[in-house]
Structure formats: structure tokens, C-alpha cells
Amino acid sequence: MAEKSKQTKYIFVTGGVLSGVGKGITAASIGAILKAKGYDVSIQKCDPYLNVDAGLLNPVEHGECFVTADGKETDLDLGHYERFLDFETSRYSSVLSGALYQELIDKERNGGFHGKTVQMVPHFTDLVQEKIAKAGEGSDIHIVEIGGTVGDYEGLSFIEAIRLYANRVGRENCLYVHVVYVPWINTSKELKTKPAQNALKDLRGFGIIPDVVVCRTERPAGRDICEKIARFAGISGDAVLNLPDIESVYDVPFNVLKSGVLEILNCFVGDDSDPDMTKWQKFSDLRGKKYDKVYKVGLVAKYVGNEDAYICVTEALKAAAAWNKMNIEIRWINAEDATGNDFKNVDGLVVPGGFGARGAEGKIRAAEYALEHDMPYLGLCLGMQMACVAAARRGGLKNANSEEFGASEENGNNVIYIMEGQKGKEETGGTMRLGDYPAKLVKGTKTYKLYGQGDVVERHRHRYEVNQKYLPEIEKGGVRVAGTSPDGKLVEFIEAPDLKFFVATQAHPEFRSRPLSVHPLFDGFVKALR
């Protein structure tokens, strides 16, 4: 590989026509290729939402809330980034307009602008540039995805900021990638380029001529379509890449490699070496294989209408299945009305995290069924809490419940509760545990064997804890503690020692699973399906 430049280079990914066209996957795929060439790659998303973070965004509309290692609640695209680039994002990897406005207003109120008028340009745009520079520190290449669609009123300041960034670091150190949608019109049986042309016109109107255009289509587009868009954009035909809908997003890097975009990337970084995609290719080959048996995994959840609400969980399961040379089918089980009839038709159960009482009894029933029928069970966050409630009920505590669901200690036995010292902080978020926390596993447990070590770190996003005064009843119900916080005050892992596989954690291990490095809990669960 050619000697790396000391100057960080920046790749800006924007979208046109409509949102949700695949900017995040495109950005992540480019990052994966550059990392496979040996570069240190970082990545960031800037969103025009007026929210301060993604913690309160509706999963039905926005999908999963991803949590970074340092505790920032973010958009699901950061999960894509981590899976493709196999690195940990941080709070600097996610920028929302609301947080920037809040920072500017706080600074103005504290006299930081010395009485000057605070404006979108230059103050907001300068702040965006500062966040980009901060997130890219120390990287060879920093990729920035701009959320929304070019031309949207709320996103104009971000577009202006990345245009100005070229003046800051030099145009030669900036590569602009524009992702556009090219719709298929069924009545005329053809792809229409006019929306893409208009999107490119908008981008040019804001002073940015893209170096690369990615055309998203429902079906493959001919070179004539790409050439037409290239002429309108004023760039080479080789700089227009068609990415049609495909079965797996993990094939996108290979589509990029097959295009002329690789040559553009090579020219941009001054390095024509080939990326080492060996492990990616192996994963792709394994994922695409068909075996005689298909194992059915029941995912017991309440947001069954939007699979993106649990995308890290499903991707972790699929990756584990591929590396174990197994085919799995994920069956969505609505937790609100889940019964034994749903559970008996699957080979294993996964109960993911969540908040609120809706669907809680269905999740408890799932844990009870797994305990009674020795069915492989993996509980994540709320999935662990409900497993503790189920075990306590089996252990004789018939009214076992969670304080989260409105049960008082007088009316029930809160196996799950807010610890003393945390009460009264629920509405402020003061009780939330977010990001990485260490845990100590009990030697000799199945969980210890899965990790292969006693000291582990996992990401969290929760408020309530297991009340350890009810551990005797939980243990009587067939479940024991397999790991705690280092001081022993918090239950972090449980398992059923007498069953084939019944493991649950207060954490969200799905956030740390990678397609090329499967998390041990998901690996163990999938193996147990056999």
C-alpha cells in the first residue's frame, strides 16, 4: 500500500429524490472497502432532526435505537457502520440539529458570543464543521453521511457546511457521493431518470458537483441509464454506480468493487492496491448456502410491524447461522398475544429488549415455555428481566412482576425494580444505564464457557434491575445468576444450569456482534438449535 497521507481525507454521502434510499449502506460499504485496503476509517451521521438524540424516537417509524460504547443513543445507521467497519462509534459519530441548536443557545446565553448576532451561517455551519473535524480526528479517511434529502429545508445548513468544508481542508481531500433513486414505472416498463436529474440539479444549485453518483433501483439499470445520469451530472460514466435491490446488504461492497467507483476511490487516496476482502467473501459464500434443514427462531417482540426495530438482533442471528453453516428462519411472534401454540412451532426463542408493559406477559410466557420444555432461549435486556419474573413465578412467587409495569411492592413482588437512590429520576433519564459496563462471570457457568473468560464488557440501555432479595425464588424456578457487576450489586447474566441453553443478559450484546466476528451468546444460541 502506498504511504498514507497525514491529512485526513473526507467522503461526504448525500441523498436525493427521497429518504431511505440506502445512503447508510453505501457509506458503510465504501468504508469497508477502504478499511480492507488497510486504512483507518471513521464514519459519522449528521441528521437534521430537531431531537437532541434518538432515545425518544419511535421504533415503529425510525427503527432500532442504537447505543454507542460511550452511551449515546443514536440512529440505526450507526449499527450498520459498526457491522461493516468492525469498529466502535462514539457520541461524536452522531450529530442531530437539536443538539447543535441547544449547544449554540447555551453558549449564547452564557455570553460566549459576546453580544454578536447568532446566525445559521456562519455559526451553525461552523459548528457542524467542528463536529466533523472532531469525529474524524486521527483517521486516514472520515466518512460523513448527511441524513434526509438534498433540498429539504431543514437540511440546507448541513449541505452548506460540507460545501464549505472543502475550503477548510482542500477540495482534493473531499469526495462527494450522491445517492439517488431511479424509479421503475410499471405502466411503461422503464426506469425514469428525471427525479435523479432534478436531485442532481438541486445539489449543483447548492454549489456541490458530486464525484460519484449511486443510482438505487428496484432492478438492474443498463449502462444507458447510468450514462444519461452521468451526462446530466457532468461526470464520467464510470463514476455512476447502479445498486439494484439485492438479497443481502453485505453484497453491496462487492457491487461497488465491480464498478468504476473503485478506481475513483483509489485515485482519491493515491493507492491502487487491492482490498483484502477474503473474510467478507467467505462470509458471503457461507450466508448464501442452502442446507437440508432450516431452523426456526421465534423472535418474541411487540414491534413486529417493523423489522428494523430489532435489526441488530436479526443480523447477529443471521451471522451466527452463516458461520455455523446453518439456515435459520426468523418467525415474528407478537408478544401481546403470544401463546404456547406460537412457541411449539419454533426451535428456539429470542426475547429482545424494550420498554413498557405492552407485551410483557407474552415475553414472560415465552421464558416459562422455554424453562418447561428445555427450549433454547436467549434473553436480551427486558428479555432477561422477564425470564427472572418467569422463574420467580415458577419458584412459588405467583404475583412476581416488575415495578416498570406499575406494580407496587404492596400489591406484588417486584422482582424487577428501581434501586434505592434512583427513585424519582425516572422522567429525567437519570436512572438509565447507557453504553459499556463491565461484568464478572461466575466461573464454571455456561455463560463463562461461552465467553471463554470471566471479565467482560457489554453495552446497556435500561433502567430497572433485578431485585436480589428474590434470588431464592428465582433459583427455585430453575435459574441462577451467571454474572454480576464487579461490585456484585447488579445482576448482569442469568442461566438455567440444567437446560441445554437458557441464557439471558441485562445487556444488549447484539450491538457488539459483527458479520465477521459473531458475538459468543448468539453463537451459542444458534449452536443449541441443532
- Active-site residue set: 381, 508, 510
460 CB neighbour count, 10 Å cutoff: 23
Rg (CA), the chain: 25
> Considering only CA atoms, which of 325, 328, 369 is closest in space to residue 351?
369
CA-to-CA dists, residue 255 to 29, 226, 241, 244, 260, angstroms: 9, 15, 9, 9, 10
CA-to-CA dists, residue 172 to 9, 11, 145, 432, angstroms: 8, 11, 19, 44
Three-state DSSP at 177 gives: strand
H helices present in 335-415, as ranges: 340-343, 360-373, 382-394
CA-to-CA dists, residue 281 to 284, 314, 520, angstroms: 5, 20, 22
384's CB contacts (< 8 A; 6+ apart) are 466, 493, 494, 504, 505, 506
CA-to-CA dists, residue 248 to 25, 252, 253, 285, 306, angstroms: 11, 8, 11, 12, 17
Per DSSP, the residues of 246-281 read -S-GGGHHHHHHHSTHHHHHHHHHT--PPP--HHHH
